[in-house]
Amino acid sequence: MKTIYDYNYADLETLFLSLNQKKFRADQCFQWLYRKRVSSFQEMTDLSKDLIETLSSLYCINPCECVEKQVAKDGTTKYLFQLQDGALIETVLMHYEFGESLCVTSQVGCNMGCKFCASGLLKKQRDLTSGEMVAQIMYVQKELDQESKRISNLVIMGTGEPFDNYENVMSFCKTINHDKGLALGARHITISTCGLVPMIEKFSKEHVQYNLAISLHAPTDELRSKLMPINHAYPLHQLMDSLRRYSEENNRRLTFEYILLKGVNDSDENERQLANLIRGMNAYVNLIPYNQVDEHGYKTCDAKTALHFYDCLMKNKVKATLRAKHGDDIDAACGQLRAKHERG
């Protein structure tokens, strides 16, 4: 059954008009869903009985069931959800000083085939609907409501390539960002892409304030093509050109994600190449410790090398952050928990 979470505010108004309802009823319904966070249509007490019946016969609210929850020592929590067709997806909640950050999944599996990533171990089965993405945040937010906590940051960095599911991801962001709903500020929403250039071009023209993060992971075509097959389709000069255009048109700072892989992309030479690629752009590099994935054989770069890489970048006039590791003691890498389940 389709979830009502699939409808962003504008779509819900259109739906209600098609059901011969006034627009303001859609507004009421939206607020029941996202402000009061009800779990059934019956709780929407200012809607007529008939309307509640109609909605219940056409839609569900929550389209997923939590089948496993792992909590790491640092509080990082990983949820494994089962969707109505049996597909399994992961969502991760991380606690930071600045608040609660949720990492959501955008596809069942992924076709990008990055050589270090657990997600690609299972090919893409399908895109998630926008409602299935909304459901991930609503499930966790409802749990946090009991502790009077609020998700303050959303990153679309779970399994899947968000720009390979562009329309649904944009609709999802609209719902989460809407001021009558969760009202999560656009600048607190980050979309991460492996670099689908045509979609970056499209995103540039939307002039929305969501943050854009690029999974770079290598400073040369030779190395990047080895790690990320997408680089064959959209090599670095095309990617960087499209990002410069995005920056100019939107006046937004970009994030480059760079996983440090021991002996692969963490040398002094790699650092200089990276600095030369990025210097002068309105951007910073987020250096990410690698969560080892047994099947791939890449190793996490040691802390000393990571710090040295970071220092050199800063000296070379590229802003960088060195991200702390989260959820090390659980299957926190993208797709790890799910891959384990699917293999049994």
Binding interface with ligand SAH (CB under 6 A):
112, 114, 116-118, 157, 161, 192-194, 215, 257, 259, 288, 290-291, 293, 333-334
* CB-count exposure of residue 85 (10 Å: 0-12, 13-18, 19+): exposed
In the complex, what is the shortest distance from the CB of residue 154 to ligand SAH, in angstroms, rounded to a whole number? 13
334 is catalytic: yes
Element holding 165 (H helix, E strand)? none
> And the tokens for 116?
């270090």
Residues contacting 325, CB < 8 A, separation 6+: 289, 291
- Nearer CB in complex with ligand SAH: 33/94: 94
Contact 90, 105 (CB under 8 A): yes
CB of 52 to ligand SAH, least distance (A): 38
Nearer to ligand SAH (CB atom), residue 44 or residue 114: 114
- Which CB sits closer to ligand SAH, 116 or 246? 116
Is there a contact between 289 and 300 (Cβ–Cβ < 8 Å)? Answer: yes
Q: How far is the CB of 247 from ligand SAH (least distance, A)?
A: 18
- Which of 80/114 has CB closer to ligand SAH? 114
Cβ at position 78, least distance to ligand SAH in Å: 13
**Nearest CB to ligand SAH, comparing residues 34 and 258:** 258
Least distance (Å) from ligand SAH to the CB of residue 193? 5
Q: Compute the least distance from the CB of residue 39 to ligand SAH, in Å.
A: 29
Angle at Cα 213 formed by Cα 207 and Cα 216, nearest 5°?
135
Quote the Cα angle for 90-210-181, to 5°.
70
> Three-class SS of residue 257?
strand
> Which residues contact residue 14 at a Cβ distance below 8 angstroms, ignoring those fewer than 6 apart?
none
* 3-class DSSP state of 214: strand
Is 90 a known active-site residue?
A: yes
Distance CA 181, CA 179 (A): 5
Catalytic residue, candidates 90, 100, 132, 161:
90
The DSSP letter of residue 80 is E
Biggest CA-to-CA distance, the chain? 68
88: exposed, middle or buried (Cβ count in 10 Å: 0-12, 13-18, 19+): buried
Nearer to ligand SAH, 175 or 192 (CB): 192
Question: Catalytic residues, which ones?
Answer: 90, 334
